Structure 1
């Protein structure tokens, strides 16, 4: 259970931005335990890039980062998505930093050291106030590895790079991403993507899989695989062995 109205377990994406690996690991574990999916960045530039790629529902942001100041990262995040909830992490004696963060648009803050339970509770509150677990600009977003699909805008990115797809290629990818890791037969794909309007003869599915591979996997580690005699499966590139 995600504990947030309008979301399913695992659909809430939390971006954790902190340059302390041990703290990031603890926060990621707490986020996962809460039923959410965590993404992490150790510096401001990476945080901004990852935020564009994964479209997080909420951000945990350290006020002090090694490159771009946390407050500046907050301002840039706010300029791209004014409704994105942000929880700032600040040092106990950094009153000026907390004021700067709140002035820049942080929704809440916790001071170090803090309990993981407190962070999760504050994130739940921010998510509830923000509404359903969907990006206000993109609608429902599916993420698998470095592949991101935005349903309402019908946009696809891999590794942050836009991937232009035809209508049916998008429908095919959406069906594959809605069943990650599963082997989907040719008949299943025809039934769901073409609404059983074809009798299954010919190589329609093979042609579209080939075209989708050429766009999604070209020059990258492959995500779409053929399971001989069974069908096709989609996994994050690093999940194939």
Structure 2
């Protein structure tokens, strides 16, 4: 349902931001019941910011590879350039936003924007290289991603500065860092891997190894997202 979409959107928002502001440059806070127009404005801002973040991710991965950045250096780079969190800009919590989506769940404009946001991580253009990567290689890459992500989470949790780290930016940095590791080892960009997953999706959807490794990756990522991380 729409509530589930709202929850998914929230995780997308943890990595993205919105540039929608009032004329005076200050974030537009929403108090009480939001209008349909306000919800549309927020969703459009999210969509725009995701496009910006997607471009930034390519830049971050390139910097990590070319400059051999440490995690701390990569985090500082992300901290300098990341977009703001749109929910914070509008003074909304995840449950608030979820409720707004439920309220307008049957509106065609809002449904269309939600679909566009949820599919924004897919490659914007067909990537022929994805067709050359078979199911076994996709699973191998994801196994490597899982291993590198676990190493990174373990490192962060042992860091003496972990309480100073922002969860949203840690998550974004982790994705860029692991993306750089994959590109260095396999010569595959994030777009290559995404395209390969799409091309092999029918086989992957019923492959127990792929399902298992995806669940494992999500579980590890949740270790970065849970509130205890910053304590």
TM-score by length of 2: 0.28
More helix by share: 2
* Higher relative contact order, structure no. (Cα contacts within 8 Å, ≥ 6 residues apart): 2
More strand by share: 1
Name which one, 1 or 2, has greater alpha-carbon Rg.
1
